[in-house]
């Protein structure tokens, strides 16, 4: 214990400047953006289908950005790609605040999604390089927890801003916050900090990608095809539920005739309960295993979403949103942890690019399904169908995905590529 605890705190310190502080700043802006986009679409005079289309466009942007981001990270390193992602987010947000047509808003939402994917993947690759497997769950759940702090703050502030200043000014305020993040990352200098728990003790993380073998996406896809079908399906369904939550809380709030400030408060309350779960998530992942964390997350998230159509008052609605938030928090960092566990060290960038592409397909499918079903049936039917994907994801997880706790990345990837039976 005498050696473990100091090393753990040294790991946290090494991640503070290059990862944790920028993650908090970006998450605050992202939390505000993901609330603003569907409300802005509804403000154009369109219904739930168009609001869903805007978030689906964001999901499409995520998918379009994943593979290029993985290749760019492998070629140029983590930090430059992080900077590119933030800069793209800034430009897309500024443009979103100036558009007057729905078609342009869809383009801006796609750009925001592309930028998010670029930023997130480069940051994930950096953490995967800097932190050894046995502490990765806690490192990534802490990062995810800081994101949730930002998501707790962002919606409440943005809701107030929309009511007081309007959508245009709110977009520019969000862009200013993103610009501050870029400035901070640029001023942080070259990333050389390294944890004593580093899986790469003699190399700076920013240099590892220049020396890794440049395998093609085709070969990485073929080598880990079992992983994509099993673990990939689980992460896709989890992302589907999370994207549905992002859409449904603002849209259902409008159905209940709540104002932007009230919706922002409910989102912040849910994010607050989400936020306080991240230490629990890290402990579950690193002590009980990744599957336990994922199962609790998916089950409660799906249950919370499934209860939303039954709510007719702000209090009941907030309760369902909070339950979904608790579930989401219990999976804090799970997608990132599983991805970095399974990623082979020699092809980490491209593996994570494919991993994020599969996961991010859920952020396209979820809003698209909701929008389509809401237009032909009802919003309630759409919600219940999406919520039903939760139990299926839990079944797939326990029947087909091996536990990756304490397994080296290459071993975990190999195990899931060769067998579908759980340990």
For the domain 15-189+217-418, what is the CATH superfamily, name and number?
MFS general substrate transporter like domains (1.20.1250.20)
Q: What is the per-residue pLDDT across 111-140, written as a single tens digit (0 to 9) for each?
A: 999 999 898 888 877 777 777 766 776 777
- Note the pLDDT tens digit of each residue in 8-42: 777 787 777 778 888 899 999 999 998 999 999 88
- The whole-number pLDDT of residue 247 equals 92
Dist CA 325 CA 394 (whole Å) = 18
Name the percent of the chain lying above pLDDT 70.
86
- The per-residue pLDDT for range 51-97, each reduced to its tens digit, is 899 999 999 998 999 888 878 887 888 888 989 999 999 999 999 98
DSSP state of 347: G
213-255 pLDDT, tens digit each? 456 778 888 889 999 999 999 999 999 999 999 999 999 999 9
Average pLDDT over all residues of the chain: 83
Q: How far apart are CA 8 and CA 10, in angstroms?
A: 5
Give me the DSSP letters along 153-195. Answer: HHHHHHHHHHHHH-HHHHHHHHHHHHHHHHHHHHHT-S-----
Cα 417 to Cα 423: distance, rounded to the nearest angstrom: 14
């Amino acid at each position: 214990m005498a050696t473990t605890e100091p090393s753990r705190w040294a790991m946290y310190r090494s991640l503070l400047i290059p990862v944790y502080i920028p993650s908090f700043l970006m998450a605050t802006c992202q939390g505000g953006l993901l609330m603003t986009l569907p409300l802005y679409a509804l403000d154009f005079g369109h219904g739930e289908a168009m609001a869903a289309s805007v978030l689906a466009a964001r999901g499409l942007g995520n998918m379009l950005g994943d593979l290029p981001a993985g290749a760019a990270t492998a070629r140029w390193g983590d930090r430059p790609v992080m900077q590119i992602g933030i800069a793209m987010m800034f430009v897309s947000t500024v443009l979103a605040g100036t558009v007057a047509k729905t078609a342009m808003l869809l383009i801006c939402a796609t750009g925001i999604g592309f930028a998010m994917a670029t930023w997130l993947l480069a940051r994930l690759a950096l953490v995967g390089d800097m932190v050894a497997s046995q502490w990765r769950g806690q490192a990534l759940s802490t990062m995810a927890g800081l994101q949730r702090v930002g998501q707790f703050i962002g919606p409440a502030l943005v809701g107030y801003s929309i009511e007081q200043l309007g959508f245009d000014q709110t977009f520019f305020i969000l862009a200013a916050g993103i610009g501050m993040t870029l400035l901070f990352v640029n001023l942080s200098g070259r990333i050389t900090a390294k944890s004593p728990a580093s899986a790469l003790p003699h190399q700076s993380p920013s240099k590892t990608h220049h020396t890794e073998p440049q395998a093609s996406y085709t070969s990485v896809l073929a080598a880990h095809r079992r992983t994509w079908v099993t673990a990939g399906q689980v992460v896709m369904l989890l992302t589907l539920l999370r994207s549905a939550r992002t859409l449904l809380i603002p849209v259902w709030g409008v159905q209940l005739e709540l104002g932007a400030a009230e919706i922002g408060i409910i989102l912040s309350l849910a994010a607050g309960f989400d936020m306080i779960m991240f230490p629990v998530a890290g402990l579950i992942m690193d002590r009980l295993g990744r599957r336990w964390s994922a199962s609790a997350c998916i089950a409660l998230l799906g249950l919370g979403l499934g209860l939303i159509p039954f709510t007719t008052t702000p209090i009941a609605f907030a309760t369902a949103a909070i339950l979904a938030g608790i579930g989401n928090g219990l999976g804090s960092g799970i997608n990132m942890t599983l991805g970095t566990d399974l990623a082979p060290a020699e092809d980490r960038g491209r593996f994570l690019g494919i991993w994020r592409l599969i996961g991010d397909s859920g952020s396209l499918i979820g809003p698209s399904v909701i929008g389509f079903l809401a237009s032909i049936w009802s919003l309630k039917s759409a919600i219940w169908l999406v919520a039903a994907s939760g139990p299926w994801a839990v079944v797939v997880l326990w029947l087909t995905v091996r536990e990756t706790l304490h397994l080296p990345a290459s071993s975990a990837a190999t195990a899931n590529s060769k067998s579908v039976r759980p340990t």
